[in-house]
Structure 1
Amino acid sequence: MIKNEKIKASEVQVTGLQGEDLGVMSTKDALALAKKLKVDLVCTSLMSSPPPCKLIGAGSAKQEALQEKQQARKQEQGPKVKELRLTANIEDHDLETKRQQAERILKGGDAVLLVVKISGKEGAKAKELLERLVKELGSHGKKHTGIQLSGKQAAVQLDPL
């Protein structure tokens, strides 16, 4: 991030504090304007001629650059898979709580793995429970895998829409 006196171009395209276009002006004039308004002149790109610059409040320039870095890193990583564990004999209130958690995770952009622990002959009940949850969460996510019954658990993964 290049700002204030470190900008070497002779002319810059200046954008004001509220995003208004102030036009092309000499770097000295732009710096004088920034000093008068008690803000920083920040160069947003060196790839064009004249380089576009913004008038930004002192602390917000660093914060804006930090937010852009975090966004880029988040997009680079892709969605995470978060696991929610249930039992086949879950109470209605607890099931509603788990559904809300799953909904929140899907809205946040992460995938949800719903896992139901099975003991004894609860396989059919667990599958029924997962089908119900998938149907209720249909507006927020779609099935990535079918319902998988294996040994002591049943699982299904939902990806965000």
Structure 2
Amino acid sequence: MWMNEKIKASEVELTGLNGEDIGIVPTREALAMARKLKVDLVCTSLMSSPPPCRLVAAADAKKEAQAAKAKSSDRVVKVKEIRLTPNIEEHDLDTKKQQAARILQAGNAVMLVVRVQGKEGAAAKVLLEDLVRELKEWGRAKTGIQVSGKQAAVQIDPVA
């Protein structure tokens, strides 16, 4: 978002404080009008010629700039899946736990999936509960542990 003197175009398509269309005005004149009304001149897009600009109250312009910055900093959180078995060895479990912790520290979510055969559902649920407890420093469970058919799963989101 470009404001006031940062607008380099020679003329702008100006919109007033209440949304009224003022028309195409030289940038110097638009800046003078903004100073006179004690507001900011905000350019909404540089893709057209002349660029559309509007007069905005100073506090509103700062809020809009912060909202635009916050929106651009939002990043897509990826969900990485880690597969386990209920009768996993201690060393392998530690490796999977470290891998999950690294993923959570990087800001991504982890889906822990335990493949179940026969009556291993209870063991899989206990394993996932232990992992969620041990990973609580880096993330918290988004969903409860879901045991269905051939797998038990839980998603852990990173702590913000």
**Pair 1:125 & 2:123 matched:** yes
Matched residues in 2 for 1:87 and 1:75: separation?
37
- Amino acid of the structure 2 residue aligned with 1:132: D
**Cα offset, 1:78, TM superposition:** 1.5
1:34-75: CA deviation from partner (whole Å, max 9, x where unpaired): xxxxxxxxxxxxx8xxxxxxxxxxxxxxxxxxxxxxxx9x94
Aligned to 1:135: 133
Identity among equivalent positions (%) equals 64
Aligned to 2:153: 155
Within a 5 Å distance, the mapping from 1:12-27 to structure 2 comes to none
Matched residues, number: 96
Aligned to 1:37: none
TM-score (norm 2): 0.54
Q: Which runs of 5+ in 2 are unaligned?
A: 1-7, 9-41, 43-69
Aligned to 1:94: 92
CA-atom RMSD, angstroms?
Answer: 2.5
Matched residues in 2 for 1:100 and 1:109: separation?
15
Matched residues in 2 for 1:92 and 1:128: separation?
14
1:60-94: CA deviation from partner (whole Å, max 9, x where unpaired): xxxxxxxxxxxx9x944421000000001100000
Q: Which runs of 5+ in 1 are unaligned?
A: 1-7, 9-46, 48-71
Runs of 4+ residues deviating >2 angstroms = 74-77
Matched residues in 2 for 1:155 and 1:133: separation?
11
Q: Residue 104 of structure 2 aligns to a residue in which SS?
A: helix
Aligned to 1:107: 105
Matched residues in 1 for 2:111 and 2:102: separation?
13
**Cα offset, 1:147, TM superposition:** 0.1
Matched residues in 2 for 1:79 and 1:98: separation?
20
- Amino acid of the structure 2 residue aligned with 1:135: R
